[in-house]
Structure 1
């Protein structure tokens, strides 16, 4: 397993990016300003994009694993890589996600805890309803982890 930084042509990984954020214009808001990493293990298995949010906060804007390889530790490996790489530069790693029984427990298992909510994020920013596990996502929940 190897994790590499992507510095050019980040959109070549659009199919992975769209797994975590299904509207391309939303991805365009952070992709160029973020640092992108891909996880290779006999081919690309996952990706992660992080941005500097100021005040010592690094945010995971997008993280995804190829569906047929989910549950094998690739997402956790990306989070641990990012946490280690940026621990001397940032004090907090945060992620915003839908309040879903699929994603929130994953982040909690990776050492994150709930921080705050952004009301109506999905209804205000997407051109269609977003569903996960059959639940319509309305609010964004932020989770934080000290580095």
Structure 2
């Protein structure tokens, strides 16, 4: 995978205060605000600014060398233009050497699973019934109701494969 370019880093910046100002964008990736609030303050948030905010992501330290993408969203109208992939490259480059694995959990969606797999993630494990247990309403994506949480992992070390 190609690395992000130096000018990309100038466009990606960490948000340390007033993270909720991006709630509209956060809600694109996670429809329930109280679920977002569970990880937003403990996570590190980044935005990609390209003549306006085009993407955001929130990552958390899950222990045991695992950094988890809790939220990754691209502004409608700018999706499928490489902004999400650029955020993944940024995270991989920034956290390589500090973490062993970059992990993402998502529903069984025809939209998000192929995206993560195309970024080098491999399916790791499934949490059955996650979306029906923890969300107060049915979640649909790509015409499919999300029920199980599917975890994918990408190695951040050259020697190791995702577990």
Same fold, TM-score > 0.5, yes or no: yes
> Residue by residue, what CA displacement relative to the aligned partner does 1:103-138 show, whole Å, maximum 9, x if unpaired?
000000000010000010000000000001111100
Equivalence for 2:104: 95
Q: In the alignment, what sits opposite 2:154?
A: 145
Q: Spell out the pairing of 1:43-62 with structure 2 (5 A cutoff).
A: 43-62=52-71
Q: d(CA) in 1 for partners of 2:63 and 2:39?
A: 14
Which segments of structure 1 move beyond 3 Å, counting only runs of 4 or more?
none
Superposed, which structure 2 residues align to 1:1-147 within 5 Å? 1=8, 2-147=11-156
Query: What's the Cα RMSD here?
Result: 0.6
| Structure richer in strand, relative to its length | 1
For structure 1, list consecutive stretches of 5 or more residues without a partner in the other structure: none
What are the superposed Cα offsets for residues 91-111 of structure 1, whole Å, 9 maximum, x if unpaired? 000000001111000000000
TM-score by length of 2: 0.89
1:65 & 1:100 partners in 2: Cα distance?
Answer: 16
Distance 1:56 1:78 in 2: 20
Listed one character per residue, the Cα deviations across residues 50-97 of structure 1 (whole Å, up to 9, x for unaligned) are 000000000000000001000110000001101110111100000000
> Could you tell me how far apart the structure 2 residues matched to 1:53 and 1:107 are?
19
SS in 1 for 2:126: strand
Local SS of the residue matching 1:69: coil
- Number of aligned positions between the proteins: 147
